[in-house]
A and B are shown apart, each in its own frame.
Chain A
Amino acid sequence: MIRFDQVNKWFGAYQALVDINETIAEGEVVVVCGPSGSGKSTLIRTINRLEAIQSGTISINGEDIHPKGLDVNAFRSHIGFVFQQFNLFPHLSAIDNCTLAPMALKRLSPAVAREQALALLDRVGLAHKANAYPSELSGGQQQRVAIARALAMQPPIMLFDEPTSALDPEMVGEVLLVIRDLVRDGMTLVVVTHEMGFAREVAHRVLFMDQGRVLERATPDDFFNRPQHPRAQQFLSDIRTPFATA
């Protein structure tokens, strides 16, 4: 469903993505992991065109996402994106955060939009906080509202850029539960994360990246128990035993 064909991206002289060739099937859950600076965030951000690419093509459902004259806004409204820093709109309540886009873009009436938003907030366990402002919510609650907000546009694809990296440890679980819930609905998810337990339990496939390249792709079982690439082996070893000396 999502296809990368010889994709390369530079930030000035620095190459962030090198010869990316990947396909993500419909309904697949893919976890992208790797060390800092490996390009995993950049990769996911190219899918909804938050980042541009210099060569290669990205296509969704067989259609190139960079044709001339494409309505970028309509395109983006079909992809949900959840940020590491939540990025809720602080001047709007939780429910207003969720109704903003549907009302502005799909021309839903306020009543219908609110009804749908309330259902989504309920789904992430925050219906009782519908009228709260982001400043009154914990980090975990904010991220869950952010997920509801992204779901409000009913996108077939959801992208998560390190959704739990900015959370206090005790709130990570509540967010991961919500994401796992989406998996059960058969959505196509691409998740950049360090949460290995989550990856093992939920992902169909793991992509390991380092220095802009995808070095290994495998099922979670294969990846975590029998990593092939030396960098992947090093990475997993570093994660498991952070205090080991060389």
Chain B
Amino acid sequence: MIELIQTYWVYFLVGQYPKGPLGGLALTVLLAGLALVLALPLGVALGLARVSPYRVIRWPVTALVFVVRGVPLLMVVFWAYFFLPSITGVKTDQFGTMLIALVVFDGAYLAEIVRAGIRGVPKGQFESARSLGLSYAQTMRRVILPQALRHMLPSLVNQFVATIKETSLGYIIGLTEVSFIAAQINTQVFTRGAEVYLLLGLTYFVLCFGLSRFAFWLEQRLAQRKDLQPLPQPLKASA
């Protein structure tokens, strides 16, 4: 196994770069990072729409989120792969296709996380902001969302871990991410499939487990921040 690693580690990590497009583990992490960064604003927008007081905004978005969450990610990838070129007229490569699919898919999941985060902010916060005269939009922007998003930080790191795993589906459309590279290596060495795929699994494990531990540490650190404490519970009082 050692010589397997020694021979192929560069290919595994960066694909054919610089002699070709970026691939391997670097591409996996890049794709996941970019997808999450783009999915977050979409998720916040969709999450806000999900709690909107206006039905005309709330219902279509709820339907959209329901559909995206009811089908496998691979379905969304296929939608992007087969239909996006004919709708937009632009032929995207595998990276672009996978990125769009991930942004849409993760955006829908983040919408639910954001919605739960917003719901988790005590109603009194909303009332006191409105009592001061702040509009709904100002209240969301300056009071509710800052609190909701800060509490969501560990969830976001976990979502990053999930997205890294999701990038593996790029294999199916020929994206040269790390699983695809592993398969390429396997066709070259042929009789050592178990070793190759065990190494692949180990790579994912180290990356994802490491990030989960980071999320855990982050949660501990955040619990100590002054501006994030839950307010001390007042004594129970009569109505």
Contact = CB atoms under 8 A, between A and B. Distances in A.
A74 B38 CA distance: 36
Interface stretch (B12-20, B46-54, B206-214, B223-231): B223-231
B234 interface: yes
B127 A90 contact: no
B234 A92 contact: no
Contacts of B128: 81, 83, 87-89, 146
Nearest to A149: B132
Given A90-B230, A91-B150, A153 B133 contact: yes
A101 B130 contact: no
Nearest to A41: B239
B133 A77 contact: yes
B134 interface: yes
Nearest to B234: A166
Interface residues of A, number: 45
Contacts of B229: 90, 133-135
Interface string A157-172: 0000010011110000
Q: How large is the interface on B (under 10, 10 to 19, 20 to 34, 35 or more residues)?
A: 20 to 34
B165 interface: no
Contact of B131 (A76, A86, A165, A194): A76
B21 interface: no
Given A50-B127, A100-B142, A73 B237 contact: no
Main secondary structure of the interface of B (DSSP, over half): helix
A139 interface: yes
Q: Which of B127, B131, B134, B228 has the most CB of A within 10 A?
A: B131
B143 A167 contact: no
A199 interface: no
Nearest to B130: A76
Interface in B118-170: 122, 124-125, 127-135, 138, 142-143, 146-147, 150
A83 B134 contact: no
Given A89-B125, A90-B231, A139-B232, A84 B237 contact: yes
B132 A91 contact: no
B239 A37 contact: yes
A46 interface: no
21 contacts: A50-B131, A73-B133, A75-B133, A78-B133, A79-B131, A84-B234, A85-B124, A89-B147, A92-B227, A100-B132, A100-B134, A101-B132, A105-B134, A133-B226, A134-B231, A135-B226, A139-B234, A153-B133, A165-B235, A166-B234, A194-B238
